[in-house]
């Protein structure tokens, strides 16, 4: 396959990953892992002789073997170790995937470096310990840089598990907004006074757990919150945008677009007159920020798409204020 | 959803009683004995007001604005963002000493109250409807003669009606003479009576609508309980 066709194929993969619920960069990484595994077993396995199972030795053996097989040029790589991590630099001038990376970045598609992913795969699979890859932003004028480091993969991908669907390792079900709307409408019909609290608290408590599950993968609370909001978006529930994130005063403003709850409230007439409707969104954000700032936080919805506003607006603030 | 905006209480059983809702400019009297849950009902009314994107003015006569803020938090509304955006204003008619711009002393004349109320209304954010709650109006009347009270009543409620404001006035049974209630009653569009029913040994809270100007209302007695996080829950809702 010529270089251009290969790059187009990869761009197709990134575009698909962007469209798939819970897809994104992790989806691209999983696809690459399958590819690398097959390539390793078919062409490299018997010739792969690392000096030890140390991460740097495994990486060096990887590029030596690949170089001998004519699959890459080892002179384009620089490796150095930092504790258990390995820093990687790749000269992008002659890189086969240059067109893929530059176009994916330009188009805002989920992107990962196929070269560096090889290192993560070999260290994880030959070293017996999970490694993750963090890549610096793709900048045209500089060599590509990244680091592989010991860390668990976040189980956030929507996937099949036999007859079931799984999200984050737990069985998942997919409901249409019509079906979910009927569920909510039934609660409203039998216990209207409880609807708000049911929606708020069920999301609040499940969101506390979600935060706990992923916080160790991120460097700071903002990154963790951004990741979690991104997951909600990838599920197609609502797209959040952080408008203000004041660590010092523990205040935040979040805008949200395409709220499914606003849609459900309007379609099912779940109130006597139009009103702010995103109790579950408030619960989710209150939980994430309670964890992020280790403070009992509350969330007020100041604008809502159920009113015809362009977006829902949430304000987060400490309860004690 | 209806096209014309109507106001509701935010308490399902009561909202069912008032049918199509309250038009803006309606005046509501909530009458009841002390401790029966009038302020809790008012808190839920404020929550509903803010959720409907209306502005709210809360006149605190029986507790401080600080205590009222805590009460709102208890029922699931943090008042601060709404106060910061000028959508919720507290008037302190409770404290003995002035606490800020929106302060009314019980020693001042009722005409001064009217001037302050008008000033606060005029300063509310434009473009949104406004509701006002006085908790409780009967406290303002303590030590004043009946004629002064009636004149104040008539003038104030006319002003609020003209301004298209939904007004909720809380009245404590023990504070006002029954004859004054009767005289005031015709000035209001809606009257809700809250009381203890059942036996003295096992009292149960109940309410009924005593009047609705349109005449289209359900006057059944509703029993209710008070949940510390939700507020008034009409028991008929629990049974259905």
Between the alpha carbon of residue B190 and those of residues B47, B153, B163, B166, the distances in Å are 20, 15, 18, 11
- As given in the structure block, the two tokens for residue B85 are 């955006």
What is the architecture, at CATH level 2, of domain A3-150? 2-Layer Sandwich (3.30)
| B240: pLDDT strictly greater than 70 | no
pLDDT at B2: 47
| A150: pLDDT strictly greater than 80 | yes
Question: Does the residue B78 lie in any domain?
Answer: yes
- Tens digit of pLDDT for each residue in B123-158? 886 778 999 999 999 999 988 888 899 999 999 999
First-residue to last-residue Cα distance in chain B: 23
pLDDT band (50, 70, 90) for residue A169: confident
pLDDT at B219: 75
d(CA A209, CA A213): 6
3-state SS, residue B234: strand
- Looking at beta carbons, which residues of chain A come within 8 Å of B229? 197
Locate all alpha helices (DSSP H) within A160-259, ordered by sequence: 177-190, 195-214, 221-234
Nearest beta carbon to residue B237 from set A191, A200, A273: A191
Question: Does the residue B172 lie in any domain?
Answer: yes
pLDDT at B129: 92
Q: What is the mean pLDDT of chain A?
A: 90
pLDDT band (50, 70, 90) for residue A70: confident
Nearest beta carbon to residue A315 from set B81, B233, B238: B81
Looking at chain A, the domain(s) classified CATH 3.30.1380.20 span 175-318
pLDDT band (50, 70, 90) for residue A152: confident
| B80: pLDDT strictly greater than 80 | yes
Asked whether the beta carbons of residue B2 and residue A273 sit closer than 8 angstroms, the reply is: yes
pLDDT at B125: 66
- Looking at beta carbons, which residues of chain A come within 8 Å of B79? none
Q: Positive or negative, the Cα torsion across A218, A223, A224, A229? A: negative
- As given in the structure block, the two tokens for residue A4 are 């251009």
Asked whether the beta carbons of residue A275 and residue B48 sit closer than 8 angstroms, the reply is: yes
Mutation for B interface: A189, A191, A193, A268, most B CBs within 10 A: A193
Nearest beta carbon to residue B233 from set A193, A273, A319: A193
Q: Smallest Cα–Cα separation from A261: which of A289, A232, A241, A298?
A: A232
Nearest beta carbon to residue A197 from set B21, B230, B234: B230
The answer, for A194 touching chain B at a CB cutoff of 8 Å, is: yes
Instruction: Give me the percent of chain A exceeding a pLDDT of 70.
Output: 97
The interface predicted TM-score of the complex, written ipTM, equals 0.89
Q: In which region does residue B19 sit, left (phi positive, over 0), alpha (psi from -120 to 50) or beta (all else)?
A: left
Count interface pairs A-B at CB distance under 8 A: 58
- Tens digit of pLDDT for each residue in A73-129? 999 999 999 889 999 999 888 788 989 999 999 999 988 898 999 999 999 999 989
Asked whether the beta carbons of residue A317 and residue B6 sit closer than 8 angstroms, the reply is: no
| CATH number, position B42 | 3.40.50.300
- Looking at beta carbons, which residues of chain A come within 8 Å of B48? 275
Pick the CATH number of A175-318 from 3.90.580.10, 3.30.413.10, 3.30.1380.20, 3.40.718.10: 3.30.1380.20
Number of domains observed in the structure of chain B: 1
- As given in the structure block, the two tokens for residue A310 are 């362009």
pLDDT band (50, 70, 90) for residue B1: very low
Question: Does the residue B228 lie in any domain?
Answer: no
pTM: 0.80
The answer, for A196 touching chain B at a CB cutoff of 8 Å, is: yes
- Tens digit of pLDDT for each residue in B174-213? 888 888 888 888 899 999 999 999 888 889 999 998 776 6
Range(s) of the domain holding residue B44: 27-95+102-194
């Amino acid at each position: 396959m010529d270089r251009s066709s290969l790059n187009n194929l990869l761009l197709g993969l990134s575009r698909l990953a962007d469209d798939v619920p819970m897809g994104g960069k992790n989806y691209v990484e999983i696809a690459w892992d399958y590819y690398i595994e097959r390539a390793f077993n078919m062409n490299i396995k018997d010739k792969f002789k690392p000096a030890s199972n140390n991460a740097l030795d495994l990486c060096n053996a990887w590029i030596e073997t690949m170089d001998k097989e004519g699959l890459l040029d080892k002179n384009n790589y620089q490796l150095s170790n930092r504790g258990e991590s390995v820093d990687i630099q790749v000269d992008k001038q002659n890189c086969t995937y240059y067109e893929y990376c530059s176009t994916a970045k330009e188009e805002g598609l989920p992107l990962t470096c196929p070269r560096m992913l090889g290192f993560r795969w070999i260290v994880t699979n030959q070293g017996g310990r999970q490694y993750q890859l963090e890549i610096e932003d793709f900048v045209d004028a500089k060599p590509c840089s990244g680091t592989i480091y010991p860390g668990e993969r976040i189980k956030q991908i929507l996937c099949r598990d036999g007859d079931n669907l799984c999200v984050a390792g737990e069985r998942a079900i997919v409901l249409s907004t019509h079906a979910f709307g009927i569920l909510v409408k039934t609660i409203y019909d039998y216990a209207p006074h409880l609807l708000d609290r049911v929606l708020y608290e069920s999301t609040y408590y499940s969101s506390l757990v979600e935060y706990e599950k992923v916080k160790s993968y991120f460097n700071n609370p903002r990154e963790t919150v951004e990741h979690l909001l991104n997951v909600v978006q990838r599920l197609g529930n609502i797209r959040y945008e952080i408008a203000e994130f004041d660590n010092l005063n523990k205040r935040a403003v979040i805008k949200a677009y395409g709220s499914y709850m606003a849609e459900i409230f309007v379609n099912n007439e779940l109130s006597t007159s139009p009103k702010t409707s995103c109790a579950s969104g408030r619960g989710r954000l209150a939980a994430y920020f309670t964890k992020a700032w280790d403070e009992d936080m509350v969330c007020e919805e100041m604008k809502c798409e159920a009113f015809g506003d362009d977006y829902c607006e949430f304000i987060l603030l400490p309860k004690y204020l | 959803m209806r096209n014309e905006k109507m106001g509701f209480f935010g308490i399902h059983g009561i909202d069912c009683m008032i049918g199509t809702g309250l038009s803006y400019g309606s005046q509501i009297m909530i009458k009841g004995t002390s401790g029966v849950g009038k302020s809790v009902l008012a808190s839920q009314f404020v929550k509903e007001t803010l959720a409907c994107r209306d502005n709210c003015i809360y006149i605190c006569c029986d507790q401080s604005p600080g205590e009222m803020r805590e009460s709102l938090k208890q029922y699931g509304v943090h008042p601060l963002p709404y106060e910061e955006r000028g959508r919720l204003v507290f008037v302190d008619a409770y404290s003995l000493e002035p606490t800020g711009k929106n302060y009314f002393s019980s020693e001042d004349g009722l005409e001064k109250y009217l001037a302050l109320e008008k000033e606060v209304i005029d300063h509310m954010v434009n473009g949104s409807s406004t509701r006002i709650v006085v908790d409780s109006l009967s406290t303002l009347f303590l030590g004043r003669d009946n004629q002064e009270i009636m004149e104040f009543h008539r003038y104030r409620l006319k002003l609020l009606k003209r301004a298209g404001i939904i007004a909720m006035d809380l009245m404590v049974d023990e504070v006002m003479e029954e004859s004054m209630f009767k005289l005031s009653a015709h000035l209001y569009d809606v009257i809700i009576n809250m009381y203890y029913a059942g036996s003295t040994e096992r009292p149960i809270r109940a309410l009924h609508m005593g009047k609705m100007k349109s005449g289209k209302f359900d006057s059944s007695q509703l029993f209710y309980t008070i949940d510390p996080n939700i507020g008034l829950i009409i028991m008929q809702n629990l049974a259905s």
